[in-house]
Amino acid sequence: MAAHRCNIFMLVFVLCGLTYVFVRADIEDTNHVKDAESVAVDIAPKANIGASLRSTKTEDQTQAAEEERQWEAETNPADAPSDNKADHVHDTMQNLDSRPAPYAKDQTQEAAEEERQWEATEVKEADRVPDTMQTPDVPPLTPAKDQFQEELVIRPLHSGDIYASFQFRTMWDTDFLRGSKVSHYRLFPKSLGQVISKFSVRELHISFTQGYWRTMQWGQPFLPSPPGAELWVWFQDTVTDVDGAWKELTNVLSGIFCASLNFIDSTNTVQPSASFKPLGLGNVTDQRFLRYAVLPREIVCTENLTPWKKLLPCGSKVAVCLMFDALMKVASSQSFRLSYNTSEICHNSYCKSTVWELRQTLNVVFDLHTSGQGKREWSLFKMFSRTVTEACPLASSSKVYVDGELFELSPTTPLLSQAVVLGDRRTYSVYDLTNQATFGQTRSLNMLLRWRAAESGDMLRPLLHGERYVAGYGLQTGEIHTLMYNNHPYRAFPVLLLDTVPWYLRLYIHTLTVTSKGRDNKPSYIHYQPSKDRLRPHLLEMLVQLPPNSVTEVTMQFERALLKWTEYTPDPNHGFYVGSSVISALVPSVVAMDTNSTRECPLFSSFFPCKEESSYFMRVYTEPLLVNLPTPDFSMPYNVICLTCTVVAVGYGSLYNLLTRTFQVEEPSPGLAKRLANIIRRLRGVPLL
């Protein structure tokens, strides 16, 4: 007994020890920013050799960062905006021309963003010193190893909702894959860096989404994503066992992001051949190194928000990210999305060196209807229950953009920016948080939006829009319908449709029909990979031309498989999810569509439609499907057991009885004479009659 107790005490002790270790590890992990501080403090003097002497060792990290920026500004006086513009346009043009179609989206987006930045600076030029954020585009003499930018875009939507998109971009000029092991992390999150180097990841894209982006009401999001969790990874072509790396990677990521990414296995992983191309550098098109998976069932909540916050240099303590504390009240939001994108991008226009880029975005749509009781008024304080008081000291740029002109803003800002985003020309009001003047007397920024008119005008219909549903009834067969809307009045464009269907819906591929405007529409490219039961899903990729102003319907019949009883989820009557299908397309720009040209633009500029605005990349995710499979009544095992036992008993019993019983022909009793004769015969010893 005593020994037992002793064992228990030992066990408790060991457990305590382990807990302590883990807690310590956790604390260290969360405080990696602090670790980075000391590193920064060490590095700073080295970088400042040419600068005046400063007692950096006693200064805190924020100051160090600021100094560094100042120093960069000093040493790079060449970064005049006009030069930048030329570079950017050149870069963009080059990218657009040289790259195959699907890449263009992010290039365009990036271009748009950079352009936005540029234009913002141009306006600023008049009144203040150019910001340091342009520095990465020109090779510095002694390059800043890493830098961090943050921004918030607020876009009032036509439905009356508010779309807030937080974006944080960390760039680091380092090489995770070759050479010595990277051990000094400053702004770039260590946990991700280690993952990248361990698994030789070229690109990593994760998104967690709750709710569905209503394209028809809200227009296009900056970064689309399907409901649930989505993960797609390009591995370096040096990886030999891609499946193994993928499996391990998903498990590691599941730990980092507190999400059930470990449910990603071969049954929901596909290798799309055309729909997902690397967004960063690298012209790999070999889909062997790509893995794509969606978990439509994954629900995003605050436990995912915490690890997301941890990856930010400033955490949630300061800066724009102040607001997520208030985001805990996401209850009032309509749709909610977290995403991470890591990829290698060019460092400069000539691509002589590369940097690693991490973009973390948080997109929220707030429902003004439920919270505002119909009042068309909005303020930061009302939404987030707090105001912005300062920027993240580590950020090289920190801005708030407000989209549109249909409302009054207070305080007003002198900075305006124009950009073509997703094919539409928009005007943004810009608040630069690194400028103390933005905060005014009260040392806090609380934007107030008040709509000028009751009606917010007609929304431009999104040119591309997708829908999906299951048709039919009963539990045997069904039909998946995917509708793709091309709302462009006169231009047709091709789209890539990617459909991943789990194996338990057995697709009848011969029933695949594609019709637009009542006529058969023959896809110019079809890539179909049939499923294998319990091993891999169906994968269908098609390149379809969408005629102008039409609805294209893709239908396919399927049969519902009967699963093994252990394969059912704990709530089998809820149904089984089928992930969203992905529609990727180069959509003709709305700006180019605007032919009546009422805008003030020089006449000479409109002979030919403007090239770089003519089309943009767009990805649309349809809604996931919930399909009921034939489900046994799991509450009936007792009855089933009783019934089977009875059947077995009756069947077996009677059969056994028949088999083992000996049958004899029963003779009628012989007559008296015969009996007498037999007695005599027995006495004589001869055989009886």
Residue 221, H or E segment: none
Instruction: Return the DSSP state at 366.
Output: E
348 or 477, CB closer to other proteins? 477
**Closer residue to other proteins (CB): 112 or 625:** 625
3-state secondary structure 629-649: CCCCCCCCHHHHHHHHHHHHH
Q: Give the nearer residue to other proteins in terms of CB position, either 11 or 471.
A: 471
148 or 366, CB closer to other proteins? 366
The residue (of 353 and 654) whose beta carbon lies closer to other proteins is 654
> Distance of CA 517 to CAs 143, 546, 582, 592, Å?
57, 10, 22, 25
Closest distance between other proteins and the C-beta of residue 467, in Å?
7
C-beta closer to other proteins: residue 189 or 624? 624
Q: Closest approach of Cβ 593 to other proteins, in Å? A: 23
* CA–CA separation, 290 and 305 (whole Å): 27
Neighbours of 458 (CB within 10 A): 7
Q: Give the integer Cα–Cα distance in Å for 437 and 414.
A: 11
CA atoms within 13 A on the CB side of 245: 24
The residues facing 171 across adjacent strands are: 147, 357
Residue 645: CB minimum distance to other proteins, A: 16
Cα 115 to Cα 92, 273, 496, 637, 659, distances in angstroms: 9, 32, 28, 66, 91
State the Cα–Cα distance between residues 37 and 346, nearest whole angstrom. 27
Q: How far apart are CA 296 and CA 625, in angstroms?
A: 9
Given the complex with other proteins, which of 189 and 227 has the nearer CB atom?
227
The b/e string for 335-350 (b: 16+ C-beta within 10 A; e otherwise) is bbbbbbbbbbbbbbbe
Instruction: Tell me the H-state helices in 50-142.
Output: 61-75, 81-98, 104-125
Count of C-beta atoms within a 10 Å radius of residue 384: 20
- Please, which residue, 595 or 664, has the CB nearer to other proteins? 664
Least Å distance, CB 522 to other proteins, is 22
Q: Report in angstroms how near the CB of residue 634 gets to other proteins at its nearest.
A: 10
Q: How far is the CB of 492 from other proteins (least distance, A)?
A: 22
Instruction: Give the whole-angstrom CA distance, residue 166 versus residue 426.
Output: 18
CA distances from 489 to 460, 461, 608 (A): 12, 11, 19
CB of 37 to other proteins, least distance (A): 37
| 582-588 vs 615-621, strand pairing mode | antiparallel
Q: Least distance from C-beta 296 to other proteins, angstroms?
A: 7
The whole-angstrom separation of Cα 675 and Cα 74 is 138
Rounded to the nearest whole angstrom, what is the least distance from the CB of residue 572 to other proteins in the complex?
A: 8
Structure-block tokens of residue 419 = 């950009």
Closest approach, Cβ 473 to other proteins, in A, equals: 5
Nearer to other proteins, 62 or 217 (CB): 217
- Closer to other proteins by CB, 278 or 502: give it: 502
Closest distance of CB 573 from other proteins, Å:
4
Nearer to other proteins (CB atom), residue 202 or residue 214? 214
- Cα–Cα distance for residue pair 133/10, rounded to 1 Å: 57
Cβ 406 to other proteins shortest distance, Å = 19
Footprint on this chain of other proteins (rule: CB under 8 A): 210-212, 214, 216-217, 227-228, 296, 330-336, 367, 369-370, 373, 467, 469-475, 479, 481, 571-575, 577, 623-628, 631, 633, 635, 650, 653-654, 657-658, 661
Quick check: 356 and 149 in contact, CB under 8 A?
no
Helix (H, G, I), strand (E, B) or coil at 479: strand
Q: Which residues are bridge partners to 507 per DSSP?
A: 558
397/521 with CB nearer other proteins: 521
